[in-house]
Structure 1
Amino acid sequence: MRKSFTLSGPVSRRMLMMGAATGVAALAMPRVLRAEAKPTLVTSIRSLSNPYHAVWKTGAEAYAKWAGLEHVTLVSEGNSEKGIADIKAMLAKTGGNMVLNSDPNDTPDARPIVEACAKAGAYVVTQWNKPADLHPKDFNPNYVSHIEFDGIESGKTIAEILFKTIGGKGGIVALGGLISTTAAIERKKGLDAALAANPDIKLLDFQVANWKSTEAFDLMGNLLTRFGDDIKGIWAANDDMGSGALEALRAENL
Structure 2
Amino acid sequence: MGRESDFLRGSLHRRSFLKASAAGAAAFAASGMGFGRALAEEGWTLALSARSLSNPYHATFAKGGEDFAKSAGLPFEVLITEGNSEKGIADIRALLARTGGKLVLNVDPNDSPDARVIVEDCQKAGAYVVTQWNKPDDLHPWDHDPNYVAHMSFDGVPNGKAMGEALIASMGGSGGIVALGGILSNVPAVERKLGLDQAVAAHPGVELLDFQAADWNETKAFEIMQAWLTRFGDKIKGVWAANDGMGIGALEALRQEGLAGSVKVTGIDGIDSAIDAVRNGEFAGTVALPHRSLKSRGAGLP
TM normalised by structure 1 equals: 0.89
Kindly state the Cα deviation for residue 3 of structure 1 after the two structures are TM-superposed: 4.0
What is the match of residue 201 of structure 1? 206
What is the match of residue 87 of structure 1? 92
Q: 1:217 to 1:21 in 2, by over 3 A?
A: farther
- 1:34 and 2:38 aligned: yes
Q: Which of these residues, 239, 246, 251, is aligned with residue 241 of structure 1?
A: 246
Conserved? CA contact 2:32–2:72, under 8 Å: no
Task: Tell me which amino acid in the other structure corresponds to 2:158.
Answer: E
What is the distance in 1 between the residues matched to 2:18 and 2:251?
Answer: 36
Q: Which secondary structure does the structure 2 equivalent of 1:4 belong to?
A: coil
TM normalised by structure 2 equals: 0.75
What is the distance in 2 between the residues matched to 1:109 and 1:216?
Answer: 24
- 1:120 and 2:125 aligned: yes
Conserved? CA contact 2:105–2:130, under 8 Å: yes
Following superposition of structure 1 onto structure 2, how do residues 98-247 of structure 1 map, counting pairs within 5 Å? Answer: 98-247=103-252
The answer for unaligned runs of 5 or more in structure 2 is 1-5, 10-16, 260-302
What is the match of residue 71 of structure 1? 76
Count of residue correspondences: 244
Q: What is the CA deviation profile of residues 9-60 of structure 1, one whole-angstrom value per residue up to 9, with x for unaligned ones?
A: xxxx8997259869x99x7898676334141111000011111001111121
Q: Which secondary structure does the structure 2 equivalent of 1:173 belong to?
A: strand
Q: Which secondary structure does the structure 1 equivalent of 2:239 belong to?
A: strand
What is the distance in 2 between the residues matched to 1:73 and 1:221?
Answer: 34
What is the distance in 1 between the residues matched to 2:120 and 2:33?
Answer: 18
- Runs of 4+ in structure 1 deviating by more than 2 angstroms, as ranges, are 13-22, 27-36
* Higher-RCO chain (CA-CA 8 Å, sequence separation at least 6): 2
What is the distance in 1 between the residues matched to 2:73 and 2:149?
Answer: 21
- 1:4 and 2:8 aligned: yes
What is the distance in 2 between the residues matched to 1:201 and 1:85?
Answer: 45
Kindly state the Cα deviation for residue 152 of structure 1 after the two structures are TM-superposed: 1.2
Percent identical pairs in the alignment equals 59
- 1:59 and 2:64 aligned: yes
Q: Which secondary structure does the structure 2 equivalent of 1:96 belong to?
A: coil
Kindly state the Cα deviation for residue 203 of structure 1 after the two structures are TM-superposed: 0.5
Task: Tell me which amino acid in the other structure corresponds to 2:168.
Answer: F
Conserved? CA contact 2:179–2:210, under 8 Å: yes
Q: 1:220 to 1:244 in 2, by over 3 A?
A: same
What is the distance in 1 between the residues matched to 2:142 and 2:252?
Answer: 45
Quote the RMSD (CA, aligned, Å). 2.6
Q: Which secondary structure does the structure 1 equivalent of 2:153 belong to?
A: strand
What is the distance in 2 between the residues matched to 1:222 and 1:78?
Answer: 23
The answer for unaligned runs of 5 or more in structure 1 is 6-12
What is the distance in 1 between the residues matched to 2:103 and 2:249?
Answer: 36
What is the distance in 1 between the residues matched to 2:229 and 2:34?
Answer: 53
Conserved? CA contact 1:176–1:237, under 8 Å: yes
Q: What is the CA deviation profile of residues 186-209 of structure 1, one whole-angstrom value per residue up to 9, with x for unaligned ones?
A: 111111111111111001111110
